[in-house]
């Protein structure tokens, strides 16, 4: 079992070879883009709590587990430190969750249903249920430990099932940091081609990366031992503060869930009609200025023209600028407490991994306060 080291490197660390504190301090004096946005909910706004999740067991294509490695190799974390002036805490290498990673079958190159270290048969149709539950439980604790210090929690995935961990960890930390405050329930902006709100029962595929929102909102619960039975009320979010942006491939069962629960969703149709600027105004107004925001960005929200290396691409998506704008608008709100970037799959090389990685780097930079001018 991978060990949990919650607070990581207490003094931060340098990702470049010889970056020094002196140089960084001088840079933050002359380039203050990050600190220029007043932060409403972060007590340590210049600190980032990084979690690097190399896990792909929430779906059937190997490769998203290598997402954090290619993003960091492209210099993302170094840039956040040297260009944006953050002090980095948490992971400086990718957590691989080897014990829980499903095996790849030689026959078809797809992920098999049981992980190498323990038997993991389907539960309620879910594939790899115990593996995904165990990994997301650990992610939840790790991200909680970062968020509870008042840092912004940045998580690089991994498939989107890991958001069961990230969002639950942040929800718990914010409740704890603002006890008694009626606004201590986080809002989640879920940017995605898909709604990821299937219950095990409505899902056709059984892939848990299509279900995280149903577990996070309590639309589905589990009492099966070792299968998401670790999720409690303190981990959950309300459907009232959930906002989708970029939807265009929503299952019939999910459409019913969105309608029945009156969940706020801006599809590509809405973006076409109003433009991304107005959509973001409406999204932030809906959430309200008194609520912390967790931004969970699936790179497949972007059109495959910009981000082809992802497991479930859907044409007709966001341009890179629209994606960046969403991130910029969330950063400008001063309400952002956590950012996920998920579903970058460098094994899917058709169309170009480089473009996808560059898009991912750009999205994260924008979400963390980078500006064009």
**Binding of Mn ion by 340 (CB under 5 A):** no
**Binding of Mn ion by 192 (CB under 5 A):** yes
Give the SS3 label for residue 47: strand
Spell out, one character per residue from 285 to 314, where the chain touches Mn ion: x when CB under 5 A holds, - when not.
Answer: -------------x----------------
Q: Which of 24, 127, 130, 160 binds Mn ion (CB under 5 A)?
A: 160
Among the residue ranges 188-196, 200-208, 242-250, 365-373, the one whose residues contact Mn ion (CB under 5 A)? 188-196
**Binding of Mn ion by 254 (CB under 5 A):** no
Distances (CA, A) of 331 to 39, 133, 265: 9, 30, 20
- Tell me the sheet residues that pair with 156: 52, 341
Characterise 9 by phi-psi region: left (phi > 0), alpha (psi -120 to 50), beta (else): beta
| 203-222 residues near Mn ion, rule: CB under 5 A | none
Cβ of residue 238: shortest distance to Mn ion, in angstroms?
20
Cβ of residue 298: shortest distance to Mn ion, in angstroms?
3
Provide the annotated active-site residues: 160, 192, 194, 196, 209, 298, 300, 343
Among the residue ranges 105-113, 129-137, 155-163, 173-181, the one whose residues contact Mn ion (CB under 5 A)? 155-163
| 40-99 residues near Mn ion, rule: CB under 5 A | none
Helix residue ranges, H only, the chain = 21-30, 67-73, 76-82, 129-147, 163-177, 212-216, 252-260, 268-274, 276-287, 320-333, 353-367
Cβ of residue 140: shortest distance to Mn ion, in angstroms?
18
| 88-117 residues near Mn ion, rule: CB under 5 A | none
Cis peptide before 126 (omega within 30 of 0): no
In terms of CB distance, is 194 or 235 closer to Mn ion? Answer: 194
Q: Token pair for residue 183?
A: 């606004």
In terms of CB distance, is 51 or 312 closer to Mn ion? Answer: 312
Cβ of residue 189: shortest distance to Mn ion, in angstroms?
13
What is the C-alpha to C-alpha distance for residues 152 and 165, in angstroms, rounded to an integer?
15
**Number of H-type helices and E-type strands within the chain:** 11, 8
The sheet carrying 47-52 orders its strands as: 87-90, 47-52, 152-156, 336-342, 293-298, 187-191, 242-247, 264-267
Cβ of residue 14: shortest distance to Mn ion, in angstroms?
32
Distances (CA, A) of 319 to 272, 274, 330: 11, 15, 17
Q: Which of 65, 196, 340, 370 binds Mn ion (CB under 5 A)?
A: 196
What is the C-alpha to C-alpha distance for residues 130 and 114, in angstroms, rounded to an integer?
10
Q: How many residues bind Mn ion (CB under 5 A)?
A: 4
Cβ of residue 117: shortest distance to Mn ion, in angstroms?
26
In terms of CB distance, is 344 or 361 closer to Mn ion? Answer: 344
Q: Which residues bind Mn ion (CB under 5 A)?
A: 160, 192, 196, 298
């Amino acid at each position: 079992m991978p060990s949990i080291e919650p607070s990581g490197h207490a003094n931060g660390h340098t990702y470049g070879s010889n970056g020094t504190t002196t140089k960084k301090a001088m840079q933050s004096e002359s380039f203050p883009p990050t600190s220029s946005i007043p932060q409403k909910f972060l007590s340590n706004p210049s600190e980032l709590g990084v979690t690097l999740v190399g896990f792909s067991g929430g779906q059937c294509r190997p490769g998203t587990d290598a997402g954090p490695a290619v993003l960091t190799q492209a210099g993302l974390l170094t840039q956040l430190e040297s260009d944006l002036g953050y002090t980095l805490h948490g992971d400086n290498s990718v957590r691989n969750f080897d014990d829980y990673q499903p095996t790849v079958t030689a026959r078809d190159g797809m992920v098999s249903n049981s992980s190498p270290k323990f038997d993991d048969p389907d539960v309620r149709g879910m594939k790899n249920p115990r593996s995904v539950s165990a990994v997301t439980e650990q992610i939840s604790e790790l991200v909680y430990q970062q968020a509870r210090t008042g840092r912004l929690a940045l998580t690089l995935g991994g498939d989107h099932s890991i958001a069961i961990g990230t969002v639950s960890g942040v929800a718990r930390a914010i409740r704890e940091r603002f006890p008694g405050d009626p606004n201590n329930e986080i809002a989640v902006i879920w940017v995605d081609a898909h709604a990821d709100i299937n219950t095990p029962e409505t899902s056709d595929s059984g892939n848990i990366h299509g279900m995280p929102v149903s577990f996070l909102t309590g639309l589905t619960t589990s009492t099966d031992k070792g299968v998401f039975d670790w999720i409690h009320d303190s981990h959950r979010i309300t459907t009232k503060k959930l906002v989708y942006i970029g939807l265009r491939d929503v299952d019939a069962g999910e459409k019913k869930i969105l309608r029945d629960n009156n969940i706020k969703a801006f599809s590509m149709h809405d973006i076409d009609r109003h433009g991304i600027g107005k959509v973001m105004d409406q999204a932030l107004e809906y959430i309200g200025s008194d609520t912390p925001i967790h931004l969970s960005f699936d790179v497949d929200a972007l059109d495959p023209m910009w981000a082809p290396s992802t497991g479930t691409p859907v044409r007709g998506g966001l341009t890179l600028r629209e994606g960046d704008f969403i991130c910029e608008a969330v950063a400008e709100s001063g309400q952002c407490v956590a950012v996920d970037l998920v579903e970058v799959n460098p094994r899917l090389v058709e169309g170009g991994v480089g473009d996808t990685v560059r898009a991912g780097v750009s999205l994260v930079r924008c979400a963390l306060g980078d500006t064009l001018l």
